[in-house]
Copies of this chain bind each other. A is one copy, B any other.
Amino acid sequence: MGEAAEGRGRGKLILFGEHAVVHGYAAVACGLPLGAVACVRRGHSESFRVDHPAGSFEAEGKVLEAARGIVARFGLRLEELDGFVRLEVPVGAGMGSSAALAVALARAAQKLSGRGDAQTVEEAVSFAEGLFHGKASGIDQSAALGGGVFAFKRDGAGGPPTIEPVRAPTLRLVVAQVAPSASTAEMVASVSALAERRSSTAAIFEAIGQVATEGRQALEAGDLQAVGELMNINQGLLAALGVSIPAIDEACRLARDAGASGVKLTGAGGGGCVVALGPDEATTRAIQEGWEVRGWPVYTFTLES
């Protein structure tokens, strides 16, 4: 059977700036302590299993193709490996599960093979994310590889994005998946269609971009109350873009009633997850409990600076 190699990749949350980021404005995101763990050893397997919070599946289609391509970059063939990936974040819920999976598997493959470097890992992940998402923004990949809080801005000329680490205070985050996730591509397309119809949409992107910039400053100043207030403002602006839904609105209300510093949808909207910032341990627990009563899967994260 030989020695097993393990690799980890992080999930991600967007704290500020989704949708506007597509139009060239800065966003703020973070890598999560949870994400994906890949475990592989040399052997033989007919299939490659992915466990996730809601169940388990055998990789097929794009996932299988991505896994094959990732390990091939380290001179390995998936059929000559025995292993699995365990996802700690929900699949397709705007928490970067696919990038976490790709990073975890690439790192495990690198360790097992003793070949390739950080650059090879990045290339393998880019390849996989391209398969999963077409033209991916790169936010998920940055979070999955590096973790921490960071500011992200697309290069208008189509070059690589600007990624800058953001020094943040300890963040107590509670995340709930309040509805099935909408397709990110479809939500981005729906916002683009709105922007075509309504010229005022450009001013909303501008406002979201400014909120993200202020959010970064508030994080760097360690002002959690300001961070929360700006999350609330960001949520209103996302609602103005039409990507909030009743379940998201309800989750926001419940979290605010429980004392959240701020709460917003995270990701493309139309479904998926909300993220709340708790001012302290007790309030964070109250937010969590309020959401769990509604039957939503809830994840809590403490991001240490």
Contacts and interface: CB of A to CB of B under 8 A. Distances in A.
Contacts of A203: 203, 206-207, 209-211
Copies of this protein in the assembly total: 2
Nearest to A206: B203
Interface residues of A, number: 33
Interface of A is mostly: helix
Interface in A198-216: 198-204, 206-207, 209-211, 213-214
Interface in A42-74: none
A160 interface: no
Interface string A227-241: 001101111111111
A201 to B, nearest CB: 8
Contacts of A253: 246, 249
Contact of A198 (B197, B230, B235, B242): B230
Contacts of A230: 198, 200
Contacts of A246: 253
A232 B236 contact: no
A213 B199 CA distance: 10
A171 to B, nearest CB: 19
A258 to B, nearest CB: 13
Contact of A200 (B201, B214, B238): B214
Given A201-B233, A204-B207, A240-B240, 17 more contacts: A198-B233, A200-B210, A200-B214, A200-B230, A200-B233, A203-B206, A204-B233, A206-B207, A207-B240, A233-B240, A233-B241, A234-B240, A236-B240, A236-B241, A236-B244, A237-B237, A239-B240
